[in-house]
Chains A and B, each alone.
Chain A
Amino acid sequence: MTAAGVTVLTMLSSQAMSATLEVGRGKQYPLPSAAAAVARDGDRITIAPGSYSDCAVWKASDLTIEGASADTTTITGTPCEGKALFIARGSNITIRNLAFTDAHVGDFNGAGIRAEGGDLTVEHVRFANDEDGILAGTLPGKRIFIRDSEFIGNGTCEGGGGCAHGVYVGGVSLLRIERSRFFGTRAGHDIKSRAERTEVIGCDIADGADGTASFAVDISNGGAVLVRDSHIEKGPRSENHLAGIMIGAEGVKQPTPEIIVENNTFLVEGNYHAYLVYNLSATDAMLRGNVLQGNARALHGDGATK
């Protein structure tokens, strides 16, 4: 057989092998980790309702991993590799309709999902009482999409190795968070991003009465920023009063082509003043159509408010 013939056969067989793996009591795989061990590129993994004390490392690419809903399908327990309940190591993985709760590890950065491969999409997922909800390191050129998800009571600054956050993303090309809710984040930031571009669209980010979040959005090293149609609320127990959106607090280490903050509401409920945008980059922040409530102020640093 020719080499080309082998290649064609291999491609055909790999397509044919693309399968749906069912996870749940009485199903093919009792736990997500059992499915993860055999999953191949392109597989779809469905997880039946239930609470799974498990963690899984997803090494294959082009996976879709979905539960029944965030209310009925929960992953909890001891994180894998001291990292996360799900480690997304393949490229182009979609995770939806699940809840990840109580991820705790020795060095206080246990995540619901840790992204280590390529693009990651998270939809209709709830992260509750984890150290990090979603954590991604430096993944050059990769994108992370988060939609219609909830981050409740995540975050910690225990352990002295830095803080954990609702979403903590290192050097990726794009972090886009849409229609998602952050509530009661503890000590860390709701969203901390070192991405080349960070977009927060249609989100609801609030400390509530007891949340102690630092910033709602921390753009630690610069990069493009778009925050639109969102509600940001700093509560009385916020642990950093400076700002809702902080840009460049750890030094601007990359180009910051634009900063657009528009059509948001910003409410400061504590007995302090805070800026919607605290801009430590030299790129003009463009603020348009934002509504400031309570002790909110608009802008510190370069830029203009309309």
Chain B
Amino acid sequence: MTPVAGLVVRIVVAADLLGACAGRLEARELAVGAGKPYAVPSEAAAVARDGDTVTIAPGTYYDCALWHASGLTIVGTGPDVGITDSACAGKAAFVIEGDNVVVRGLSFGRIRVMDGNGAGIRAEGRDLTVRDTRFVNNEIGILAGGQGGTLLIADCVFSANGVSAEGQPTHAVLAGALDLLRIERSSFQEARGGDHIVSAALRTELVDDRLSDEGGHMSGPLVAVTGGSVLVGHTMVYLDPAAADRPGAILVTGDAGAIAVDGNTLVEPEGNVPLLRNWTWVTATETANIVPSNASAVSDSGALYHRLRGGITSLRNQIQDAKGLARHQAARLARELKLIP
């Protein structure tokens, strides 16, 4: 090698190293499918780096994947890209550990796990977007823990989720303490017992959605929100007459920030179940909702009882804690005074 050529090589290598150090490795496209570089999604997941795009060809994949990298776009390249039957880590078909991931154009089905909370997608990073994706016959459609950030669900279909072997109903979407759960233009149907959506996010937004309990066996509300701010807008809700004793299509409890119910339509052939039952301390605002004449958009009846009961439970727990603490301190004092061994 001539000295000049060696110098050039060294410069190029140095530039590469710099690029790598700065995290500027070029984002790649990883193609998944029969005859592609990666036969199944998990093979792509094993090598995916931050910013990569993973394209999955149509097919049925008995596979599950742990996505570690951030900034991924994972996208189906045609209709009928099915991820089915198999869960990773006893959690989900896709366990998404990276931040800022987009999943689009897939279908997740038939997920079961030992402890009954097998999901199509388990979100373990921050800021996940799921678009144009179907969740059919899973124990849970999407499960997000309490990691903060945003979970955006758009143009998705959830059907026949909420299966659980131990008789513990599960949900289509179960979100813990996120900053924002937003679900838009999505459809929820045929739940098998549990609420479609359960959210403990700081803010929960349902916009342009369609919620139904047709064909399912639901008992409680279709949506349960425990605290935080709530926006329900331009959403269609269909209630089956069989479940007229539920408190509301949407039930909000806990410490709410603000509740806005705007431009929704409630359809129920019989019964007077309100669109939203408000068991919080705040007053909900409602505008331009269409509900049957014997129902209301928002009802807070039962709130006082619910809050009192909650308060009593909380008080009882505090008393128990105080008693435990007192007993513990008395024992410690006695031990220090050598009254007991």
Contact = CB atoms under 8 A, between A and B. Distances in A.
B180 to A, nearest CB: 31
Nearest to B163: A302
Nearest to B138: A282
A301 B163 CA distance: 9
B112 interface: yes
A280 interface: yes
A192 B63 CA distance: 21
B62 A253 contact: yes
Contact of A280 (B63, B114, B137, B166): B114
B15 to A, nearest CB: 43
A30 B267 CA distance: 86
Contact of B113 (A280, A300, A302): A280
B165 A300 contact: yes
B85 A252 contact: yes
Interface in B71-86: 85-86
Interface string B102-129: 0000000111111000000000000000
Contact of B112 (A254, A255, A282): A282
Given A252-B85, A300-B165, A282 B111 contact: yes
Given A251-B87, A256-B85, A302-B112, A282 B137 contact: yes
Contacts of B111: 282
Contacts of A101: none
A302 B192 CA distance: 12
Interface string A262-306: 000000000000000001111000000000000000001110000
Given A254-B62, A301-B165, A302-B163, A282 B87 contact: no
Contacts of B96: none
A222 interface: yes
B64 interface: yes
A253 B137 contact: no
Size band of the interface chain A makes with B? 10 to 19
A117 interface: no
A222 B85 CA distance: 9
Given A254-B62, A301-B112, A282 B85 contact: yes
Contacts of B87: 251
A40 B110 CA distance: 48
B165 A281 contact: no
A251 to B, nearest CB: 4
A248 interface: yes
A71 B288 CA distance: 86
A282 to B, nearest CB: 3
Nearest to B136: A282
A253 B163 contact: no
Interface residues of B, number: 17
B86 A253 contact: yes
Contacts of A256: 85
B64 A251 contact: yes
Contacts of A251: 64, 85-88
B163 A281 contact: no
Q: Which secondary structure dominates where chain B touches chain A?
A: loop
Given A300-B165, A301-B165, A253 B85 contact: yes
Contacts of A222: 62, 85
Question: Which of the listed residues A222, A255, A280, A281 has the most CB atoms from chain B within 10 Å of its own CB?
Answer: A280
Interface in A75-93: none
A282 B64 CA distance: 15
A281 to B, nearest CB: 7
Contacts of B166: 300
A149 B110 CA distance: 37
A287 to B, nearest CB: 14
A186 B23 CA distance: 52
A143 to B, nearest CB: 21
B40 to A, nearest CB: 10
B85 A302 contact: no
Interface in A210-227: 222
Nearest to A255: B62
Nearest to A250: B86
Given A301-B165, A302-B165, A282 B62 contact: no
Contacts of B163: 282, 302
Nearest to B111: A282
B110 A281 contact: yes
A41 to B, nearest CB: 35
A298 B277 CA distance: 40
Nearest to A280: B112
A286 B113 CA distance: 19
Contact of B86 (A252, A300, A302): A252
A256 B112 CA distance: 13
Question: Which of the listed residues A255, A279, A280, A282 has the most CB atoms from chain B within 10 Å of its own CB?
Answer: A282
Contacts of A302: 112, 163, 165
A254 B64 CA distance: 12
A302 B64 CA distance: 20
Contacts of B109: 282
A255 B109 CA distance: 12
Contacts of A279: 112, 165
Interface string A244-261: 000010011111100000
A281 B62 contact: no
A232 to B, nearest CB: 21
18 contacts: A222-B62, A222-B85, A251-B86, A251-B87, A252-B62, A252-B85, A252-B112, A253-B62, A253-B63, A255-B62, A280-B113, A280-B114, A281-B85, A282-B85, A300-B165, A300-B166, A301-B165, A302-B165
Interface of B: 62-64, 85-88, 109-114, 137, 163, 165-166
Given A252-B110, A281-B112, A300-B166, 20 more contacts: A222-B62, A222-B85, A248-B85, A251-B87, A252-B62, A253-B85, A254-B62, A255-B62, A256-B85, A280-B112, A280-B113, A280-B114, A281-B110, A282-B85, A282-B110, A282-B111, A282-B163, A300-B165, A302-B112, A302-B163
